[in-house]
Amino acid sequence: MSIHIGLSQDYEAVISQEDADLADYKWCAHRPKKGPHVYAVRNDKVAGKRVQISLSRTIMQRILGCDIPAKHVVDYRNRNTLDCTRENLRLATYSEIAVDRSRPANVKRPYKGVKFRAGCPNHPWIAVIKHAGRYKKIGQYATPEEARDAYRAKAIELYGEFGGQT
């Protein structure tokens, strides 16, 4: 069972039952200058300074029982930044988040990791993946869907759960 928390600007965050006490705080919707996402945050004073405290970060610290390790951030399995249920949150490095990122909207390719080559009429679709700083060719395929499936399989092989949603 989940609990819905009303935020400013008519947004709503969702948390797990175990974190019900967090609903007592006043949470706000925060949209950073870069990116389309909205996050649940609250303002507080720490050592006399005003700070923003993230709902997802607060919950992840409860799950871990300590602070979030250096070079790690909270990631959302379903990519919904207002779904702060425990099942949706996971700890990730910036590299893992980059792998899990979807295809940019301004790119004229049907899927992430799939390219078209007009010079190969039988297998014009190529699947490529970046690993350890280098691009590796996975194979050539007749359809973009076959290339996408090959990319997904390779991404899961290389990156585990972070490679599955591309």
pLDDT, tens digit, 9 for 90 and up, residues 104-145 = 665 667 888 888 888 888 889 999 988 878 889 999 999 989
pLDDT digits (tens, 9 = 90+) for 94-111: 877 777 666 566 566 788
Per-residue pLDDT at 14? 97
CATH class of 102-163: alpha beta
pTM of the model: 0.69
Residue 6's pLDDT band, with cuts at 50, 70 and 90, is very high
Mean pLDDT score, 44-52: 92
Looking at the chain, the domain(s) classified CATH 3.90.75 span 2-92
Per-residue pLDDT at 61? 95
Burial bucket for residue 53 (CB in 10 Å: 0-12, 13-18, 19+): middle
Looking at the chain, the domain(s) classified CATH 3.30.730.10 span 102-163
Burial bucket for residue 41 (CB in 10 Å: 0-12, 13-18, 19+): buried
> Residue 160: what are its φ and ψ, rounded to 5°?
65, -135
Q: How is domain 2-92 classified at the CATH fold level?
A: Homing Intron 3 (I-Ppo) Encoded Endonuclease; Chain A (3.90.75)
What residue spans of the chain are helical by DSSP H? 55-64, 94-100, 144-159
Q: What is the dihedral of CA 118, 108, 145, 99, to 10 degrees?
A: 120
Per-residue pLDDT at 87? 96
Per-residue pLDDT at 103? 59
